[in-house]
Amino acid sequence: MSYQTRKIKAARDRGRRMAARRWEIDRARRETLACIDPMQFPGLILRRIVVIDREVAVREAVIYDFDSRRTAAAKLRSILSAHHE
């Protein structure tokens, strides 16, 4: 196996390990949030956006103070996309 092939494989394996760890942490965070009583919820809602299309379909995004910019942007993109029709 050539040097470059080994380096590419090592980088790919490292990326996969890092992604798996991120998913594991995110999964644990979501499970914890799902178990919390709504009255005891630790987050503060920064923005709540409701999109109503043709008075038929409704989508909502809630952005909390603990959401990252990336997560908040993904929530906005998901509700503003026209693919939900």
d(CA 59, CA 46): 17
d(CA 20, CA 9): 16
Tens-digit pLDDT profile for the chain (85 aa)?
Answer: 899 999 999 999 999 999 999 999 989 988 887 777 767 777 788 889 898 888 888 888 888 888 889 989 999 988 888 665 5
pLDDT of residue 66: 84
